[in-house]
């Protein structure tokens, strides 16, 4: 389990208040190894992320997905879905720099490989056109910066999120 209390969400809002501080919680669970067509071997972890506004504690983002790594090629895949009827399959790389591990992925609407699917309502009202994320892990600290490109409220905008989280270790003794 990872928790952070200094997240910053910068997203367009009709009332003009576009910056929101948030609490972040991400739980990773090993999903085991996967094999495709007897020739591709993958290492997978699934996760659940809950984000709460700091001013009132209400959940405003709930996300589930998988981080998938193919050791033979070094490819990283991040699949995610949110309950606004949006799903993303982003691809990229992992780099090890000493004790720091950095994952960098991106997706583009319309791509046949790493793309974005969304409901008709979202396509009309809040279309996601791009997604990129940089996730860094070093010891007991995880941080990320992500940008979601949107066509919303009659304009194109960059919705950004960033947070630092600490590993929480439970002692059940």
pLDDT tens track for 131-171: 999 999 999 999 999 999 999 888 898 988 999 999 998 76
The kind and range of the H/E element at 159 are: strand 155-167
Spatial contact of 114 and 106, defined as CB atoms under 8 Å apart? yes
Strand, helix or coil for residue 171: coil
- Do residues 79 and 66 lie in contact, with contact meaning Cβ atoms separated by under 8 Å? yes
- The model carries a pTM of 0.89
86: β partners: 82, 118
What are the pLDDT digits (tens) for 76-111? Answer: 999 999 989 999 999 999 999 999 999 999 999 999
**Quick one: 2-167 is in which CATH superfamily?**
Calycin beta-barrel core domain (2.40.128.20)
Phi, psi of 111 (to 5 degrees): -70, 145
**Sequence spans of domains, the chain:** 2-167
Cα(83)–Cα(159) distance, integer angstroms: 17
Q: How confident is the model at residue 17 (pLDDT cuts 50, 70, 90)?
A: low
Question: How many H-runs (helices) and E-runs (strands) does the chain carry?
Answer: 1, 11
């Amino acid at each position: 389990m990872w928790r952070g209390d200094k997240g910053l969400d910068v997203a367009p809002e009709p009332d003009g208040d576009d910056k929101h501080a948030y609490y972040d919680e991400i739980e990773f669970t090993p999903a085991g190894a996967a094999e495709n067509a007897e020739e591709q071997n993958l290492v997978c972890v699934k996760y659940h992320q809950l984000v709460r506004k700091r001013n009132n504690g209400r959940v405003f983002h709930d996300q589930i997905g998988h981080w998938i790594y193919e050791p033979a090629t070094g490819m990283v895949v991040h699949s995610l879905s949110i309950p606004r009827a949006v799903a993303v399959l982003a691809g990229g790389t992992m780099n090890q720099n000493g004790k720091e591990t950095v994952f960098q992925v991106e997706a583009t609407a319309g791509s046949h490989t790493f793309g974005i699917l969304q409901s008709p309502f979202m396509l009309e009202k809040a279309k996601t056109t791009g997604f990129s994320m940089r996730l860094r892990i070093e010891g007991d600290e995880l941080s990320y910066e992500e940008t979601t490109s949107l066509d919303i409220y009659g304009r194109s905008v960059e919705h950004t999120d960033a947070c630092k989280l600490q590993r929480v270790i439970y002692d059940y003794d």
